[in-house]
């Protein structure tokens, strides 16, 4: 079931007006299984914040925003968007449970495999153009969007899969190379400038040796070589428009419409960003106007488009997660959330055994945070699953250290090593009285199957 959940995270579609995913029924089954077995543990801090946020959002949406706008706000939209908000909290909990069960690598590899399979269709379309007419795989006839409804979202999700691939030390090198080539091909054929920029940033921090599982700076020689390579690339990009190479590159890319859309990022970066950023600039202006209307309280869940239309005459989403959340939640709750998110994303867990899982999930999450500058990902299932997994590495790290000191854990008890699939951790509530811990290579999978679904 966990493998199906990981693969299904690659799907998102609007059905009967609702943004649904194949991951939704699997998530419900997983939750029911955890509830039936009494293994669904909820961290107190996220639960308290969600309850506070729920009360705040519903009160503001139902009673406060209508007074400001003198407009009847749609109850159905409020109910629909609150359901999405509750679903994001469920995804956060599932991300935490996945790490507790020692299945981080299993789920993320399933997600990577699904992403590679989807991107393979995009790559195959180069040799088989008839694939572009199959279903809704291509937006506008040439921008690959996979099994989502937005090529930009597909591109950012694919770069997140690439991050998980690059920071998973257990994947064989030849498989990593092939999968990387396919995923990069999928990103480029989506013709998403947001995805291309996220890909460039991921390659940069990977090349510089940043965001590793263990502390310690990269070797000076590697840093200098990386900086030199990046500087040479930057100089080349600056000089390229004035040479014949830029025209040659444009002519080559013109044969593939998706690549042709990305060429201005190299040949004329300013015009490329300006041309694609005008609509986003308008959306950001609308979001800032909505924030200015109610900076402290926000406008509540499910009311954004109605309030935006009332204030600016333009009913348009923010196309920016940070602005969208700030407008709906209010700056106070938004700042608290973003500080909490940054703390878990940028700081390594205290316990070394949880840092490998943290490196994989936090780097994939960081890609989505970069993509959030141009997309509203506040209801993205993948975003909240990765956030839950990243937070869990910190919670379990604290629990592990507390158990070693002889104190009662202040957070969730750890059920396993997050990356080694070993369920015999001494903090496991069901295994504390069992036989001493075996060596990690002696039937670890069977131990997990005895205790976890």
- Quote the CA–CA distance of 356 and 169 in Å, as a whole number: 8
For 436: left if phi > 0, alpha if psi spans -120 to 50, otherwise beta; the answer is beta
Residue 413: partners with Cβ closer than 8 Å, 6 or more residues away: 41, 399, 427, 428, 429
User: 256-282: buried (b, 16+ CB within 10 Å) or exposed (e) per residue?
Assistant: bbbbbbbbbbbbbeeebeeebeeebee
Confidence of residue 287 (pLDDT cuts 50, 70, 90): very high
At residue 142, the pLDDT reads: 82
Q: Tell me whether residue 245 is exposed, middle or buried, using C-beta atoms within 10 angstroms of its C-beta: 0 to 12, 13 to 18, 19 or more.
A: middle
Per domain, the residue ranges of the chain are 2-215+268-451
Give the count of beta carbons closer than 10 Å to the beta carbon of residue 106.
18
Residue 328 above 50 pLDDT?
yes
Phi, psi of 219 (to 5 degrees): -60, 140
Q: Is the pLDDT of residue 127 over 80?
A: yes
Predicted confidence (pLDDT) at residue 268 exceeds the cutoff of 60: no
What pLDDT, in 10s, does the model give residues 211-242? 666 655 455 555 565 556 555 655 554 454 55
pLDDT band at 273 (very low <50, low <70, confident <90, very high): low
% of the chain beyond a pLDDT of 70: 72
pLDDT of residue 135: 77
The pLDDT score that the predictor gives to residue 290 is 96
Res 160: pLDDT: 97
Q: What is the rounded end-to-end Cα distance, in angstroms, of the chain?
A: 8
Task: Report how far residue 435's alpha carbon sits from residue 426's, in angstroms, rounded to the nearest whole number.
Answer: 11
318 to 29, 60, 81, 280, 420: CA distances (angstroms): 33, 19, 15, 8, 41
Is residue 264 pLDDT above 80, yes or no?
A: no
> What is the reported pLDDT for 212?
65
Across 405-421, average pLDDT: 48
425 band by pLDDT with thresholds 50, 70 and 90: very low
DSSP assigned state of 417: B
For 310-350, give the DSSP string. HHHS-----SSHHHHHHHHH-HHHHHHHHHHHHHHHHSPPS
Is residue 310 within 8 A of residue 304, CB to CB? The reply is no
For the chain, what is the largest distance between any 2 Cα atoms, rounded to a whole number of angstroms?
A: 73
Write down the pLDDT at residue 429: 36
Considering the chain, what is the average pLDDT of its residues? 80
* Among 34-43, 155-164, 398-407, the least confident range: 398-407
Query: For residue 262, is pLDDT > 80?
Result: no
Q: Flag whether pLDDT at 401 surpasses 80.
A: no
Return d(Cα 227, Cα 212) in angstroms, integer: 18
Distances (CA, A) of 383 to 1, 89, 132, 369: 20, 11, 28, 9
Q: How many CA atoms lie within 13 A of 264 on its CB side?
A: 14
Q: Tens digits of per-residue pLDDT, 437-449?
A: 444 444 433 333 3
Question: What does the buried/exposed string (b/e) look like for 81-91 if buried means 16 or more CB atoms within 10 Å of the residue's CB?
Answer: bbeebebbbbb
Q: What is the pLDDT of residue 434?
A: 37
| pLDDT of residue 418 exceeding 70 | no
Q: Where are the beta strands (DSSP E) in 65-158?
A: 138-139, 143-144
pLDDT bucket at 138, cuts 50 / 70 / 90: confident
Q: Of 125-134, 262-271, 398-407, which gets the smallest average pLDDT?
A: 262-271
- Is 421 exposed, middle or buried (CB count within 10 Å of its CB: 0-12, 13-18, 19+)? buried
In degrees rounded to 5, what are phi and psi of residue 19?
-85, 100
- pLDDT, tens only, 60-107: 999 999 988 887 788 999 999 999 999 999 999 999 999 999 999 999
Find the length of the chain: 453
Place 376 in a pLDDT band, splitting at 50, 70 and 90.
Answer: very high
Per-residue pLDDT tens over the stretch 14-50: 776 678 899 999 999 999 999 999 888 899 999 999 9
- Angle, in degrees to the nearest 10, between helices 321-329 and 331-346: 140
Residue 234 host element (H or E): helix 220-239
pLDDT of residue 358: 93
pLDDT at residue number 325: 98
């Amino acid at each position: 079931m966990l493998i199906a959940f990981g693969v299904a995270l690659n799907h998102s579609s609007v059905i009967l007006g609702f943004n649904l995913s194949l991951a939704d029924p699997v998530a419900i089954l997983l939750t029911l299984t955890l509830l039936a077995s009494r293994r669904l543990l909820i961290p107190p801090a996220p639960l308290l914040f969600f309850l506070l946020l729920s009360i705040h959002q519903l009160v503001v949406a139902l009673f406060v925003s209508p007074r400001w706008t003198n407009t009847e706000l749609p109850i159905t939209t409020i109910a629909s968007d609150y359901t999405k908000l509750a679903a994001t909290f469920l995804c956060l909990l599932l991300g935490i449970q996945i790490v507790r069960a020692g299945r981080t690598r299993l789920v993320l590899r399933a997600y990577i495999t699904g992403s590679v399979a989807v991107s393979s269709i995009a790559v195959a379309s180069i040799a088989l153009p008839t694939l572009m007419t199959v279903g809704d795989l291509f937006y506008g006839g040439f921008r690959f969007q996979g099994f989502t409804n937005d090529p930009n979202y597909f591109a950012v999700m694919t770069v997140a899969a690439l991050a998980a691939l690059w920071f998973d030390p257990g994947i064989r090198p030849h498989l990593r190379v092939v999968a990387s080539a396919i995923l990069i091909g999928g990103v480029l054929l989506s013709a998403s400038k947001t995805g291309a920029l996220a890909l460039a940033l991921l390659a940069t921090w990977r090349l510089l040796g940043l965001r590793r599982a263990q502390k310690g700076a990269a070797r000076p020689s590697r840093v200098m070589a990386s900086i030199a390579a990046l500087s040479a690339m930057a100089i080349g990009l600056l000089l390229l428009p004035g040479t014949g190479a830029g025209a040659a590159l444009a002519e080559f890319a013109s044969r593939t419409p998706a690549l042709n859309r990305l060429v201005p990022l190299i040949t004329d970066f300013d015009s490329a960003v300006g041309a694609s950023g005008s609509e986003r600039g308008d959306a950001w202006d609308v979001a800032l106007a909505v924030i200015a209307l109610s900076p402290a309280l926000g406008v509540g869940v499910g009311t954004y488009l109605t309030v935006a239309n009332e204030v600016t005459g333009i009913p348009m989403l923010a196309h920016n997660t940070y602005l969208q959340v700030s407008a709906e939640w209010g700056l106070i709750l938004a700042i608290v959330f973003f500080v909490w998110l940054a703390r878990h994303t940028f700081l390594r867990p205290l316990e070394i055994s949880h840092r490998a899982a943290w490196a994989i999930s936090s780097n994939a999450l960081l890609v989505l945070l970069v993509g959030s500058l141009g997309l509203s990902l506040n209801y993205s299932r993948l975003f909240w699953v990765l956030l839950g997994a990243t937070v869990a590495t910190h919670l379990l790290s604290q629990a592990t250290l507390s158990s070693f000191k002889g104190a009662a854990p202040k957070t969730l008890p750890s059920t396993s090593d997050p990356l080694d699939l070993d369920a015999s951790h001494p903090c496991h509530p069901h295994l504390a009285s069992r036989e001493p811990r075996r060596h990690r290579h002696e039937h670890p999978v069977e131990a997990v199957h005895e205790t976890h679904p």
